[in-house]
Chain A
Amino acid sequence: MVVKVKNVVKRYEEKIALDHFNMEVNEGEILGLLGPNGCGKTTAINCILSLLKFDKGEIQVFGRKMTPNSYDIKRQIGLVPQEVSVFENLTVKENIDYFCGLYIDDKNTRRQYVEEAIEFVGLKDYVRFYPRKLSGGLKRRLNIACGIVHKPKLIFLDEPTVAVDAQSRNFILEGIKKLNREGSTVIYTTHYLEEAEMLCNRIIIMDNGKDIASGTIEELKAMITTLEKIVVRFVNIEDEVINKMYKIPHVIDIERNGEDFIIKFENGINNLSNLLSFIAEYNLTYIKLYSQLPTLNDVFLELTGKELRD
């Protein structure tokens, strides 16, 4: 176990930022911390890294209690903070070299690591640039390079793709996969569902400072009652017929979204053919009809009663 967080409580006066929060991270995995803004993701990371004191609970990193003076543990950790945290007065290369110097004393090793980090984030053509001259995406890459330059075994990435263009975003996500392939364990916080689905081996869903569910994507989807949604747009349909649709096996709910009907089923067996039989029986005409498997948003919606993007 690389990280173990047990029943951690963090209070800011009256507000509870972490409410008996639990988390376990295994070696070599990419763990996603998924939750809306303000749910406590960054607070959790800051508590794990001893940047914040917590009121209750226990945190272990690499099997040992983490404190502000655990320098040997810190040597193995890298952080890519949510905001770009670099010196505006230093160039790209100087910034990476400075942050590498906080871990690596040997000059030659440092030089090699800095070169590798520059190569890794694709900033070779910008080494003499000051951060203010870089685009948002390139700044994010610099932010990542400063966090991973010392080749840490455990990397915390706190929403590294916020306000980044699509090209840089893909570059960053591919980079994270590569870091993971090279042996780093990654803890990745995000409120982007697609990123979590694409990147993470395991996900912890957070809301109001609590870990409300955790598991692989399949495990999380299996936790909810809605296992299939079929979206259909009819040419003309009467309310009476809509009510009769509830009699189709496994239908649990029907929602109207503009001209579309979203029919929710509790399991995924023969739902589509049952619906098509109903359409034939009532001689209905449809313009479009497609089936959707549940998404993480559905999982979040069912577990918390709200959309993740709220």
Chain B
Amino acid sequence: MTVFKYFLKIALKNKWIIIMYISIFFVMTLLNSTDAMKREEAFEETRLNIGIIDKSNSELSSSLKDYLKEKNNIVATKEDEEYIKEQIFLEIADAVIIIPEDFTERVIEKEEAIIIYKDDRKPHSIQIENQINKFLAFANITYQNGQFALGDVKEALKENTQVHVLSKSGFFENSSIETWFRYYFNFTGYVILAVYIAIIGIVMSDFRDERIDNRRKISSKKLLEFNKEIYLGQLTLAIAVTSVFIIASILLMGRYIGHIYYIKYLINLMVFSLSILCLTFLINNITRNKHVITTLSTVLSLGSSFISGVMVPQELLGEKVLLVAKFFPVYYFVRINDAVINSLSEVAFELFMQVLFAVAFLLLGLMFSKKAQRI
């Protein structure tokens, strides 16, 4: 097991790269956890900046607009999805609502009546949703003989209710725990991508150095044995790095694991790690150049994480960006982390896609490997 031993030894000599990535990750996690886990005990309504596009121009939509204007500041917007998403991303608007032409009919039929663009990560995104839901609920109640009693709705909306928080457990707590785990594991994906490619790539570029590889080729070590030990080394390193994140999640938030569907994150992370390990295998068979590998590590990890929704939620990314992201396993990894599910079968497609990527990377890697072995 000399090859295995020295694979890990050389990997450990590059430990500073691993430590650097992991340290940055945990500093970010700690900063994030203080925000994500902060429990609000006092609620105050604030004026938000919202954009309204009214395509209905009905009595009901005008009344809704008036109500929202009372509670918020109105900003100019236009009916262009890219433009709206940019306004929200740049925080020019906290939300943009589009009232469709058949708004009144939809309210009567109790269908989804309004399109809302907002940043789900921000607490005030709930506020605007609440205001609209409240208005629509009251409007529905007053609907009789084909008429809305909009005056009564206006009066009712002026009433305030005193809320006392009797218990801190429940929906809001679970929601913030879920948010924490979602961010934690999404960012884990980014670090795994960067660390696997960088560390395994650097070590492999040493082993695949032509001069050193020639010494291996003329030795009595069988190629199969050599490869077995190399891949065992890669797997061991991958398991060690991934385990750090799993163990840390248990140490940091272990007491809340029972409140969420933790197995989803665990299985997703394992499948993702496998696909990234196969991606690393492919890269190592394409290039031996350390500079190319470290550049790829940075570009691929940052680039694919960004367009796949690790840093910015997928809802805020453009369709074209998401279309490109679909060619990276990170996209499917993030989709599973972001999904609220009760069973893994609900994300079977996303898991399958990651496995498919792993197989594709592996086959491509083998193809390049065969090509390189030709003498």
| Docked-complex contact A51 and B215, CB < 8 angstroms | no
- For residue B158, CB closer than 8 A to chain A, the reply is no
Contact mask for chain A residues 99-126; partner B; CB cutoff 8 A; 1 contact, 0 none = 1111100000010000000000000000
- In the complex where A87-B212, A89-B13 touch, is A74 in contact with B375 (Cβ < 8 A)? no
| Docked-complex contact B375 and A68, CB < 8 angstroms | yes
| Docked-complex contact A85 and B212, CB < 8 angstroms | yes
- For residue B173, CB closer than 8 A to chain A, the reply is no
| Docked-complex contact A71 and B215, CB < 8 angstroms | no
Contacts of B218 in A (CB 8 A): 49-51, 74, 77, 79
A-side interface size class: 20 to 34
| Docked-complex contact A94 and B211, CB < 8 angstroms | no
In whole Å, how far is A160's beta carbon from the nearest beta carbon of chain B? 14
- Secondary structure at the B interface, as helix, strand, loop or mixed, is helix
| Docked-complex contact B9 and A94, CB < 8 angstroms | yes
In whole Å, how far is A127's beta carbon from the nearest beta carbon of chain B? 15
- For residue A278, CB closer than 8 A to chain B, the reply is no
- For residue B167, CB closer than 8 A to chain A, the reply is no
In whole Å, how far is A103's beta carbon from the nearest beta carbon of chain B? 5
- For residue A146, CB closer than 8 A to chain B, the reply is yes
Which of A85, A86, A102 contacts B221 (CB under 8 A)? A102
| Docked-complex contact B211 and A83, CB < 8 angstroms | yes
In whole Å, how far is B331's beta carbon from the nearest beta carbon of chain A? 35
| Docked-complex contact B375 and A98, CB < 8 angstroms | no
- For residue A97, CB closer than 8 A to chain B, the reply is yes
Contacts of B214 in A (CB 8 A): 51, 79, 81, 85
- For residue B220, CB closer than 8 A to chain A, the reply is yes
- For residue A90, CB closer than 8 A to chain B, the reply is yes
| Docked-complex contact B375 and A53, CB < 8 angstroms | yes
Which of A52, A68, A71, A98 contacts B2 (CB under 8 A)? A98
In whole Å, how far is B265's beta carbon from the nearest beta carbon of chain A? 35
Residue of B nearest to A82 (CB): B211
| Docked-complex contact B206 and A74, CB < 8 angstroms | no
| Docked-complex contact A101 and B2, CB < 8 angstroms | yes
In whole Å, how far is A232's beta carbon from the nearest beta carbon of chain B? 50
Contacts of A13 in B (CB 8 A): none
- For residue A75, CB closer than 8 A to chain B, the reply is yes
In whole Å, how far is A10's beta carbon from the nearest beta carbon of chain B? 11
In whole Å, how far is A289's beta carbon from the nearest beta carbon of chain B? 50
Which of A71, A84, A86 contacts B222 (CB under 8 A)? A71
- In the complex where A81-B211, A81-B215 touch, is A97 in contact with B2 (Cβ < 8 A)? yes
- For residue B217, CB closer than 8 A to chain A, the reply is yes
- For residue A281, CB closer than 8 A to chain B, the reply is no
Most buried by A among B10, B206, B219: B219
- For residue A240, CB closer than 8 A to chain B, the reply is no
| Docked-complex contact A87 and B215, CB < 8 angstroms | no
Residue of B nearest to A52 (CB): B375
Contacts of B5 in A (CB 8 A): 101
Contact mask for chain A residues 124-148; partner B; CB cutoff 8 A; 1 contact, 0 none = 0000000000000000000000110
Contacts of A81 in B (CB 8 A): 211, 214-215
- For residue B67, CB closer than 8 A to chain A, the reply is no
- For residue A72, CB closer than 8 A to chain B, the reply is yes
Give CA–CA (A89, B214) in the complex, Å.
Answer: 18
Contact residues of B between 1 and 22, Cβ < 8 Å to A: 2-3, 5-6, 9-10, 13-14
Contacts of B212 in A (CB 8 A): 85-87
| Docked-complex contact A75 and B220, CB < 8 angstroms | yes
- For residue B216, CB closer than 8 A to chain A, the reply is yes
Give CA–CA (A98, B214) in the complex, Å.
Answer: 14
| Docked-complex contact B211 and A51, CB < 8 angstroms | no
| Docked-complex contact B6 and A98, CB < 8 angstroms | yes
Residue of A nearest to B5 (CB): A101
Contact mask for chain B residues 209-243; partner A; CB cutoff 8 A; 1 contact, 0 none = 10110111111111000000000000000000000
Contacts of B206 in A (CB 8 A): 87-89
Contacts of B209 in A (CB 8 A): 85
Contacts of A84 in B (CB 8 A): 211
Contacts of A51 in B (CB 8 A): 214, 217-218, 375
- In the complex where A71-B220, A74-B220 touch, is A94 in contact with B6 (Cβ < 8 A)? yes
In whole Å, how far is A8's beta carbon from the nearest beta carbon of chain B? 15
Contacts of B375 in A (CB 8 A): 50-53, 68
| Docked-complex contact A101 and B217, CB < 8 angstroms | no
Give CA–CA (A81, B214) in the complex, Å.
Answer: 9
Contacts of B3 in A (CB 8 A): 98, 101-102
Residue of B nearest to A84 (CB): B211
Give CA–CA (A227, B5) in the complex, Å.
Answer: 59
Give CA–CA (A276, B52) in the complex, Å.
Answer: 118
Which of A86, A89, A103, A110 contacts B220 (CB under 8 A)? A103
Q: Can you report 6 residue pairs joining A to B where beta carbons are below 8 Å apart?
A: A74-B219, A85-B211, A86-B212, A88-B206, A89-B10, A101-B3
Those 7 A-B pairs whose CB atoms lie nearest each other, nearest first: A101-B2, A85-B211, A102-B219, A75-B220, A102-B221, A74-B220, A71-B220
B-side residues, CB < 8 A to A, are 2-3, 5-6, 9-10, 13-14, 206, 209, 211-212, 214-222, 375
A-side residues, CB < 8 A to B, are 49-53, 68, 71-72, 74-75, 77, 79, 81, 83-90, 94, 97-103, 110, 146-147
12 further A-B contacts with Cβ under 8 Å, apart from A52-B375, A87-B10, A102-B2, are A50-B375, A51-B375, A68-B375, A71-B220, A74-B218, A79-B215, A87-B6, A89-B14, A90-B9, A98-B6, A101-B3, A102-B220
